[in-house]
Amino acid sequence: MEANAGSILAPVNYSDDNVAKPLENQPVNFYSLTLEDLKAYIKSKGKEQFRAQQIFKWVYEQRVTDPEQMTNLSKEFRQDLPAILSFELPPVLQHLKSVDGTQKFLFDMKDGMSVEAVVIPSEDRLTLCISSEVGCNMACKFCFTGKQKLKRRLRTEDIVGQFMQVHDRLAEGQRITNIVFMGMGEPLDNPEAVFKTIDVIHSPWGINLSRKKITVSTSGIVPEMWRVADAKVRLAVSLNGPNDEIRSQVMPINKRWDTKTLLEACKEHYRVSKDKITFEYVLLKGITDQLEHARQLVKLVKDVPCKINIIPFNEHPGSGYERPDDDTIQAFHTELMNLGAHVLLRRSMGRDIFAACGQLTTVKERPQTMDISNSRLAGLPKYKRELLAAQEAEQNNQQ
């Protein structure tokens, strides 16, 4: 089969999208650089390399970007810095808040393009779901992002910039404790920028977030999965089908790398990292939500040390799919537990502002908010809230 440009079968040249290309004699965006990058860059400008650590500390720890306030730099360097580095962040176009505390941010990526990122609160963590691309090549049938098609792979400064803009807008006393690359785009379709971002976020001189608090999700780009173990971060795999027939129906990537190939890569990941894989499984009414599907799913992943997150489908306009009713969702969950699976029923956070899993996009036909007042899931009874809290606490302890 001949590959079409932009399809999942086409060879990808990542470098063109992800290397900062300032005009000659123009400053480089600071947020595009790892610490090692910055050391090399300022050395090329005739400056001492140790200044890179000082700048990282000022920007990421103190949130100071005015060179005149970087008092441990020489006066000459402070004067030269604006011509060497810029500290531009992607502007926030919109900031929405859900009734459940979830927050969604829309960022301007220039040239009429934008992406969304989501902050998800829970009792003991604040998770940022971050985007890696404008649109997506993977075309998963149940995902709203996939309808947009890939427009651009984000650069490192675009991804780090999402983190910094959200960080700077959190309420006093709040801080991001976890990052999941589960927003718009396929992270392993943009590996250079994603893993450079992880280097920045993890750097002790930068944001200093533990690698174990960072999760990279993939729809199954098998040749790039080694990078997750190499980066020592956690791996989540969007499985979403109990067999090849159903998975290929809802996820075209399965036609390139089938479940056998994908699960072999997952076993290799565990062998190298000793980290359990998280399998994400979306419940689509009448398609992936039957008890037989639960039994097939457990059999499919039985040889992979893993946990399974089941995610009831989150509605979006024109999807063609439906969310199962609560009784079907609970029966599926119970069947997995009875079969001995380590399973978590994921809460659908931010549904009223289209911030839930699979709802992120920037296409214009989607409304900003959705009425969920008639949904039984909008106001859970106390015993269900307590059950969900206990499940989340168990998952956190195991991580």
Tens-place pLDDT, residues 265-319: 999 999 999 999 999 999 999 999 999 999 999 999 999 999 999 998 877 666 7
Q: Give the N- to C-terminal CA distance of the chain in Å, as an integer.
A: 42
The pTM for the full model equals 0.84
Q: Is the pLDDT of residue 379 over 70?
A: no
Q: How high is the mean pLDDT of the chain?
A: 85
Residue 78, pLDDT above cutoff 70 = yes
Bridge-based pairing of strands 28-29 and 306-312 is: unpaired
246-269 average pLDDT score: 97
To the nearest 10 degrees (0 to 180), the angle between helices 291-300 and 326-338 is 40
As a CATH number, domain 92-398 is 3.20.20.70
Catalytic residue among 116, 157, 315, 335: 116
Among residues 86, 126, 124, 92, which one has the least CA distance to residue 107? 92
Known catalytic membership, residue 116: yes
Please spell the DSSP secondary structure of 221-241, one letter per residue: -GGGTHHHHHHT-EEEEE---
What was the pLDDT predicted at 236? 97
Instruction: Locate the domains of the chain by residue range.
Output: 24-86, 92-398
Catalytic one of 2, 357, 386, 394: 357
User: Is 357 marked active-site?
Assistant: yes
Tell me what pLDDT residue 314 has: 78
What does the pLDDT read at residue 76?
Answer: 95
Q: Specify the CATH number of the domain 24-86.
A: 1.10.150.530
